[in-house]
């Protein structure tokens, strides 16, 4: 298993003094968990890969298997494991954002090993062909966000951002208010001008989608 540390690239407008009170941090996994599965599983692939969509408060919003182990029991155990993860969202300029985390779990060798044909000698580790990617709705990664030169009132703004197949913005609509009109306006404007990228398994094709961007102003 590995956890890839992700950071949102944020372009700051100037260097206002308030930024010093909000040091930038990478999005990261604070607490991980291993899948719990019986030794009787029969995988056809050595690993399972999962993509995780995490909100600006560190809450897991969505997970999806993008490469199966070939055993439904182990796949389900992997999905259950990521539900126990804890995350810290990326932030810079006193703004935390939603983000994407890829996660990979290796199948225990004991579940892959098979007795030698003769019944004696060491166990065999069969060769396995790479699993085909599982394509679904694209996961979206925020790659660029303009930081305002003045601090906004605290609150979380959720914006539904329409993206075409090239991850270019086609629309932006306020989905959840922070309770402050000025913060809502700043968040919607930031979501509209932001840059995005699709996170997809190899071999999968991007399609237009609507991404809910969360921006938490501190």
The answer to whether 196 and 163 have CB atoms below 8 angstroms apart is yes
Least confident of 11-20, 123-132, 181-190: 11-20
Tell me how crowded residue 130 is: count the other CB atoms within 10 A of its CB.
10
**Whole-angstrom Cα distance, residue 103 to residue 106?**
10
The answer to whether 135 and 64 have CB atoms below 8 angstroms apart is no
Which residues pair with residue 91 across a beta bridge?
A: 25, 96
- Topology classification of domain 2-217: TolA/TonB C-terminal domain (3.30.2420)
pLDDT, tens digit, 9 for 90 and up, residues 88-120? 999 988 999 999 999 999 998 777 766 666 656
pLDDT, tens digit, 9 for 90 and up, residues 197-208? 999 998 899 999
- What phi and psi values does residue 185 have, to the nearest 5 degrees? -65, -40
Domain spans, the chain: 2-217
């Amino acid at each position: 298993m590995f956890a890839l540390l992700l950071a949102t690239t944020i372009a700051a407008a100037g260097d206002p003094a308030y930024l010093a009170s909000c040091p930038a941090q990478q999005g990261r996994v604070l607490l991980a968990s291993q899948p719990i599965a019986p030794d009787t599983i029969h995988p056809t692939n050595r690993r399972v890969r999962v993509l995780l969509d995490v909100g600006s408060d560190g809450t897991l919003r969505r997970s999806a298997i993008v490469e199966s182990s070939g055993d439904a029991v182990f796949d389900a155990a992997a999905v259950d494991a990521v539900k126990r993860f804890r995350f810290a969202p990326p932030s810079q300029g006193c703004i935390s954002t939603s983000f994407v985390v890829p996660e990979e779990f290796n199948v225990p060798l004991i579940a892959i090993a098979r007795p030698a044909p003769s019944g004696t000698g060491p166990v065999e580790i069969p060769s396995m062909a790479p699993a085909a990617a599982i394509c679904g709705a694209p996961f979206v990664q925020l790659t660029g966000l303009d930081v305002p030169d003045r601090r906004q009132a605290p609150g979380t703004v959720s914006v539904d951002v329409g993206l075409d197949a090239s991850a270019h913005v086609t629309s932006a609509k306020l989905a959840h208010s922070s309770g402050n009109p000025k913060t809502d306006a700043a968040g919607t404007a930031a979501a509209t001008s932001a840059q995005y990228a699709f996170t997809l398994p190899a071999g999968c094709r991007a399609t237009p989608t609507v991404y809910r961007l969360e921006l938490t102003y501190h």
